[in-house]
Amino acid sequence: MSAQSQKEAVFSAVSSVINEAGITVHEGESFSTHLNRELRAQVTNILVEGFNSGTIALDKSFTSEAELRTYCSGLTSNWLRKDGRLNGGVKYEAKNPGSRVGSSDAQLKAMRQLLSTKTDPSEKAEIQSFINTRVAEIKASRKPAKTIDVSALPEELQHLVNN
Assess contact for 127 and 67: CB atoms under 8 A: no
Residue environment code for 47-78, b if the CB has 16+ CB neighbours within 10 A, otherwise e: bbebbeeeebebeeeeeeeeebbebbbebbee
Count the residues in the chain.
163
Query: pLDDT tens per residue, the chain (163 residues)?
Result: 678 999 999 999 999 999 999 999 888 889 999 999 999 999 999 999 999 999 999 988 889 999 999 999 999 999 999 999 999 888 888 777 666 777 788 999 999 999 999 999 999 999 999 999 998 888 877 766 667 888 888 888 888 876 5
Threshold 0.75, pTM exceeds:
no
What contacts 73, CB < 8 A, 6 or more positions away?
40, 44
Task: Give the model confidence (pLDDT) of 44-73 as tens digits.
Answer: 999 999 999 999 999 888 899 999 999 999
What contacts 69, CB < 8 A, 6 or more positions away?
44, 48
Compute the distance between CA of residue 97 and CA of residue 118 in angstroms, rounded to an integer. Answer: 27
